[in-house]
Copies of this chain bind each other. A is one copy, B any other.
Amino acid sequence: MHLRDVGEFGLIARLRALTHREDARVLVGIGDDAAVVAGANTLVMTTDALVEGVHFRRDWSQMEGIGYRALAASLSDLAAMGASPAYVMVTLMVPHSETVEGLEELYRGMMQLADLFAVRVVGGDVVATSGPLTISIAATGELLGMRPLLRSGVRPGDWIFVTGDLGGSGAFVHYLASGKACVLTPEDALTLRLRHERPQPQVRAARVLATLTDDARRGTGCTGLNDISDGLASELHELAQASDVRLLIHAERVPTAPAVRHYARAAGVDPLDFALYGGEDFQLVGAVDPAQAGRLLAQMEGAGVRVTIIGEAEEGDVGVDMRKGRQRVALHKGGYDHFGQAPTDHGRTGGNGI
């Protein structure tokens, strides 16, 4: 169905119906000049934009997956501050060639994730553009603990951990970009597709980390936290820089899924490269006081979150090293600069939130 058949107000009515949920916290939802929602003592806010051709490709992902992933990027940013998501506003910049069904599919994917966390879509905007389809999401959440979990408190001696496994999204993008040149088993192909299209923002992990840190002596607990949107290497550099420490990572400890290793072997690539530079895994990387590491591992297991200690913080120049076998090498930052190069169709969400 063409947009001109339903018009702006018809489209808005459809999206409003798709997103409406009964919720006493939402005093005024979509339909007036602004939304009115129940507040909180401390608010956490983030925004992310995704541009077709820069952050996603329609021939690589279904609209549902694009919507899911767009929201996941925002919820992941909130988790990385130790916050749970509450309200989102979704702005669409829409080319005239778009169909109503396509946009509804996008919203359906988004609502699959929103409903998992009782996140409410309370507003947004829909405007026409002569450019590519663009999705801009603003998300507001509440601190899970008494303090936000910043990037800047890592001390020498702290251990570095990651949640989940890494490299799945990057491996899937590599697989698509190669024109599916390698043969994958259906199970591996599905695993990689899900890592890319249905990333899980680590809200449960954030809750464990916030509680642990509230209970710990100030300056201990989780001393630094970042979500992995630009690849592990880039996020580690951000932690090191914000905390003014050197980090040492052990290559063999970086967790990757079997499907990533299978694909890497078939493609003749080091699976570690997908973890370090692939990005978009939306897992968390952080630092913990070694005295609290046992409790962290136990509580994460209780919450159903896999956690791996991959290295430690050290005295020394700001930066990141990696030990691989007997070698210790400086880990380059990698990552994506939106203006340092021409935009590439690499399927990566993000752009570092300012």
| Cβ < 8 Å to B, chain A residues 27-45 | 27-28, 30-45
> When the two chains form their complex, are residues A34 and B8 in contact, meaning their CB atoms are under 8 A apart?
no
Given contacts A9-B352, A49-B136, contact A32 B126 (CB under 8 A): no
Residues of B within 8 A of A27 (CB): 42, 148
Nearest chain B CB to A119 CB, angstrom units: 13
- In the complex the two chains form, what is the Cα distance from A354 to B129 in whole Å? 17
Nearest chain B CB to A111 CB, angstrom units: 14
By CB atoms of chain B within 10 A, which of A40, A91, A124 has the most? A91
Q: Does any Cβ of B come within 8 Å of A87's Cβ?
A: yes
Nearest chain B CB to A282 CB, angstrom units: 11
> When the two chains form their complex, are residues B132 and A131 in contact, meaning their CB atoms are under 8 A apart?
yes
Q: Which residue of chain B has the shortest Cβ distance to A129 in the bound complex?
A: B51
- In the complex the two chains form, what is the Cα distance from A32 to B27 in whole Å? 30
Checking B8, B40, B132, B227 against A338 with a beta-carbon cut-off of 8 angstroms, the contacting residue is B8
9 tightest A-B CB contacts, nearest first: A131-B131, A138-B138, A34-B46, A3-B339, A33-B80, A127-B351, A136-B136, A8-B338, A47-B89
Q: Does any Cβ of B come within 8 Å of A189's Cβ?
A: no
Q: Does any Cβ of B come within 8 Å of A122's Cβ?
A: yes
> When the two chains form their complex, are residues A42 and B33 in contact, meaning their CB atoms are under 8 A apart?
no
Residues of B within 8 A of A83 (CB): 34, 36
Per-residue interface assignment for chain A, residues 136 to 153, with 1 indicating a CB less than 8 Å from any chain B CB and 0 otherwise = 101011110000101110
Residues of B within 8 A of A54 (CB): 127-130
Q: Which residue of chain B has the shortest Cβ distance to A342 in the bound complex?
A: B96
| Cβ < 8 Å to B, chain A residues 302-354 | 337-343, 351-354
User: A residues touching B (Cβ–Cβ < 8 Å)?
Assistant: 3-4, 6-9, 11-12, 15-16, 27-28, 30-51, 53-55, 77-78, 80-81, 83, 87, 89, 91, 93-94, 96, 122-132, 134, 136, 138, 140-143, 148, 150-152, 226-227, 242, 337-343, 351-354
Checking B3, B50, B81 against A32 with a beta-carbon cut-off of 8 angstroms, the contacting residue is B81
> When the two chains form their complex, are residues A354 and B40 in contact, meaning their CB atoms are under 8 A apart?
no
Checking B11, B38, B134, B353 against A93 with a beta-carbon cut-off of 8 angstroms, the contacting residue is B134
Checking B130, B143, B242 against A53 with a beta-carbon cut-off of 8 angstroms, the contacting residue is B130
Residues of B within 8 A of A142 (CB): 39
> When the two chains form their complex, are residues A34 and B81 in contact, meaning their CB atoms are under 8 A apart?
yes
Q: Which residue of chain B has the shortest Cβ distance to A138 in the bound complex?
A: B138
> When the two chains form their complex, are residues A7 and B125 in contact, meaning their CB atoms are under 8 A apart?
no
Q: Which residue of chain B has the shortest Cβ distance to A29 in the bound complex?
A: B354
- In the complex the two chains form, what is the Cα distance from A341 to B3 in whole Å? 10
> When the two chains form their complex, are residues A124 and B47 in contact, meaning their CB atoms are under 8 A apart?
yes
Nearest chain B CB to A323 CB, angstrom units: 27
- In the complex the two chains form, what is the Cα distance from A43 to B138 in whole Å? 14
Nearest chain B CB to A136 CB, angstrom units: 4
- In the complex the two chains form, what is the Cα distance from A46 to B44 in whole Å? 16
> When the two chains form their complex, are residues A51 and B354 in contact, meaning their CB atoms are under 8 A apart?
no
Q: Which residue of chain B has the shortest Cβ distance to A142 in the bound complex?
A: B39
Checking B123, B242, B343 against A46 with a beta-carbon cut-off of 8 angstroms, the contacting residue is B123
Nearest chain B CB to A241 CB, angstrom units: 11
> When the two chains form their complex, are residues B130 and A15 in contact, meaning their CB atoms are under 8 A apart?
no
